[in-house]
């Protein structure tokens, strides 16, 4: 009986003829997987005297960690900010469809909504692992309603809220529960926001700054209280000014607590952010850049009218506007498109582009020990891509969950 069975009866799969993204570099190595985890081949050979049960030729593909989308409002006709009786089937549909974009984990995002919507929707979101059924759910991202009226963007003004005397209790009453919440976006210039940031951070919830008119010192104070993320940098915040760079100034601030990193989301769709702005941000703070789609229900659908929470939006090509206005309202770009556009716009390396959609979001959420890398013992959530960064196959826990159909090509 082969000795590799001494540890586990599960089959060992060896992916050969590939370039693996590991330690920030594409390395010509094989990838070994067992029971949904990435194996250390040295331990397998020398400790277990084991070998592969199955070998798969990757035909010189790039193997990269699965993408993690921490801001996605919906897609394929599903709007996460609409309370429906079959909300779970909507989550299921989106999680299935985004596998083809290389997304293996995501945070369903709700835009500013009435309390009744949060109370109805949040109990229907549960953290779960990915698999053949679709990408894993990491927890909800609540974008609003504690944001600035001046920078509300596509958020409905009548649903915006401020923090009253019992600030954190007010937030709890609005959302109903924080059980499945992973990220909260708020405006740090609001009175009593510091105590809210501290309370959320204490509970392991990531606080993001966005839809805000905060100056730099207000933003720095928020970071000192625990905020770690900026929601879609440049969008829905004060423009950069040399005397007070506002939230954007966090990218080069010298007031960030030692050992802490501020991350920032960017919608790299060629519309929300000019390529020059994308280059400025990336060159100022490359290790903090997190690619997000900010995708809305219209992603994957034909142009026309769709919803974003309480609002009607119009899609025209890759542009999405609140109906009858020129206010941008989320995107219809897919994550793999954002990765390719980011690489093209900045001229960065393939490794850097891929890590902005995998390693960095995992670090932001504090899950880099199991997601966002191909390190030994991490979850075997990975992609096969060609040299142009088009996804050829998606794997979750070492199982193929999507593959590009090449029969019609």
Q: pLDDT tens digit string along 258-273?
A: 999 999 999 999 999 9
pLDDT at 52 over 70: yes
Residue 206 resides in a domain = yes
Lowest mean pLDDT among 23-32, 46-55, 138-147, 266-275: 46-55
Per-residue pLDDT reduced to its tens digit, 270-304: 999 999 999 999 999 999 999 999 999 999 999 99
Instruction: Identify the pLDDT of residue 7.
Output: 60
Residues 26 and 173 occupy one common structural domain: no
The predicted model scores a pTM of 0.96
Query: Is 243 assigned a ligand-binding role in the annotation?
Result: yes
Residue 408 resides in a domain = no
Residue 390 resides in a domain = yes
Residues 213 and 227 occupy one common structural domain: yes
What residue numbers bound the domain in which 325 lies? 66-365
Residues 38 and 140 occupy one common structural domain: no
Query: Is 143 assigned a ligand-binding role in the annotation?
Result: yes
Number of structural domains, the chain? 2
Query: Is 150 assigned a ligand-binding role in the annotation?
Result: no
Residue 409 resides in a domain = no
Query: Is 232 assigned a ligand-binding role in the annotation?
Result: yes
Band the pLDDT of 4: cuts 50, 70, 90: very low
Residues 357 and 296 occupy one common structural domain: yes
Instruction: Identify the pLDDT of residue 49.
Output: 79
Query: Is 227 assigned a ligand-binding role in the annotation?
Result: no
Measured CA to CA, the distance from residue 202 to residue 199 in angstroms comes to: 5
Instruction: Identify the pLDDT of residue 315.
Output: 92
Residues 398 and 356 occupy one common structural domain: no
pLDDT at 197 over 70: yes
Query: Is 220 assigned a ligand-binding role in the annotation?
Result: no
Residues 225 and 319 occupy one common structural domain: yes
pLDDT at 30 over 60: yes
Known catalytic residues are 294
pLDDT at 236 over 60: yes
Instruction: Identify the pLDDT of residue 48.
Output: 79
| CATH number assigned to the domain comprising residue 34 | 2.30.40.10
Residues 25 and 84 occupy one common structural domain: no
Band the pLDDT of 1: cuts 50, 70, 90: very low
Measured in degrees and rounded to the nearest 5, phi and psi for residue 42 equal -65, -45
Measured CA to CA, the distance from residue 188 to residue 186 in angstroms comes to: 6
Band the pLDDT of 244: cuts 50, 70, 90: very high
Query: Is 369 assigned a ligand-binding role in the annotation?
Result: no
Residues 206 and 284 occupy one common structural domain: yes
Instruction: Identify the pLDDT of residue 51.
Output: 86
Residue 381 resides in a domain = yes
Query: Is 235 assigned a ligand-binding role in the annotation?
Result: yes
Residues 289 and 345 occupy one common structural domain: yes
Query: Is 154 assigned a ligand-binding role in the annotation?
Result: yes
Query: Is 193 assigned a ligand-binding role in the annotation?
Result: no
| CATH number assigned to the domain comprising residue 337 | 3.20.20.140
Residues 230 and 256 occupy one common structural domain: yes
Residue 19 resides in a domain = yes
pLDDT at 175 over 70: yes
Query: Is 330 assigned a ligand-binding role in the annotation?
Result: yes
> Which three-class secondary structure string do you get for the chain?
CCHHHHCCCCCEEEEEEEEEEECCEEECCCEEEECCEECCHHHHHHHCCCCCCEEEEEEEEEEEECEEEEEECEECCEECCCCCCCHHHHHHHHHHHHHHHCEEEEEEEEECCCHHHHHHHHHHCCCECCECCECEECCEEEECCCCCCCCCCCCCHHHCCCCCCCHHHHHHHHHCCCCCEEEEEECCCCCCHHHHHHHHHHCCCEEEECCECCCHHHHHHHHHCCCCEECCCCCCECCCCCCCCHHHHHHHCCCCCCCCCCEEEECCCCCCCCHHHHHHHHHHCHHHEEECCCECCCCCCCCEEEEECCEEEEEECCEEEECCCCCECCECCCHHHHHHHHHHHHCCCHHHHHHHCCHHHHHHCCCCCCCCCCCCCCECCEEEECCCCCEEEEEECCEEEEECCCCCC
Residues 357 and 396 occupy one common structural domain: no
Average pLDDT over residues 120-149: 97
Residues 359 and 379 occupy one common structural domain: no
Instruction: Identify the pLDDT of residue 408.
Output: 46
Residue 52 resides in a domain = yes
Q: Return the percentage of the chain with pLDDT > 70, whole number.
A: 98
Residue 112 resides in a domain = yes
């Amino acid at each position: 009986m082969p000795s590799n069975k001494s540890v586990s009866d599960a089959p060992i799969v060896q992916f050969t003829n590939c370039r693996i993204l590991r330690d920030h570099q594409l390395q010509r190595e094989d990838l070994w997987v067992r029971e949904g985890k990435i194996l250390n081949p040295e331990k397998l050979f020398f400790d277990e005297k084991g070998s592969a049960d199955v070998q798969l030729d990757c035909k010189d593909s790039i193997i990269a960690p699965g993408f993690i989308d921490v801001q996605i409002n919906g897609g394929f006709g599903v709007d996460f900010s609409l309370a429906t009786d079959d909300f779970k089937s909507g989550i299921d549909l989106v999680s299935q469809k985004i596998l083809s974009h290389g997304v293996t984990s995501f945070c369903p995002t709700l835009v500013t909504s009435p309390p009744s919507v949060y109370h109805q929707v949040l109990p229907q979101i549960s953290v779960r692992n990915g698999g053949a059924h679709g990408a894993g759910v990491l927890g909800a991202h609540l974008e609003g309603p504690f944001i600035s009226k001046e920078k509300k963007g596509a958020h409905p003004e009548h649903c915006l809220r401020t923090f009253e005397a019992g600030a954190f209790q007010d937030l709890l009453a609005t959302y109903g529960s924080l059980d499945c919440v992973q990220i909260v976006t708020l405006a740090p210039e609001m009175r009593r926001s510091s105590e809210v940031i501290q309370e959320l951070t204490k509970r392991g919830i990531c606080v993001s700054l966005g839809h805000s008119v905060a100056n730099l010192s207000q933003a720095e104070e928020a970071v000192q209280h625990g905020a770690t993320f900026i929601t879609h940098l440049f969008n829905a915040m004060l423009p950069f000014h040399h005397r007070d760079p506002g939230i954007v100034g966090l990218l080069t601030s010298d007031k960030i607590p030692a050992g802490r990193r501020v991350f920032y989301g960017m919608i790299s769709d060629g519309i929300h952010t000019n390529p020059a702005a994308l280059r400025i941000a990336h060159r100022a703070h490359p290790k903090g850049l997190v690619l997000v789609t900010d995708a809305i229900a219209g992603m994957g659908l034909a142009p026309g009218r769709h919803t974003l929470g309480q609002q009607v939006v119009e899609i025209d090509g890759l542009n999405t506007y609140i109906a009858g206005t020129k206010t941008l309202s989320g995107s219809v770009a897919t994550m793999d498109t954002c990765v390719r556009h980011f690489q093209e716009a900045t001229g960065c390396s393939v490794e850097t582009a891929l890590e902005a959609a995998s390693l960095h979001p995992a670090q932001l959420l504090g899950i880099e020990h199991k997601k966002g890398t191909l390190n030994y013992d991490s979850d075997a959530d990975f992609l096969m891509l060609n040299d142009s960064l088009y996804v050829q196959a998606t794997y979750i826990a070492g199982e193929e969950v999507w593959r590009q159909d090449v029969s019609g090509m």
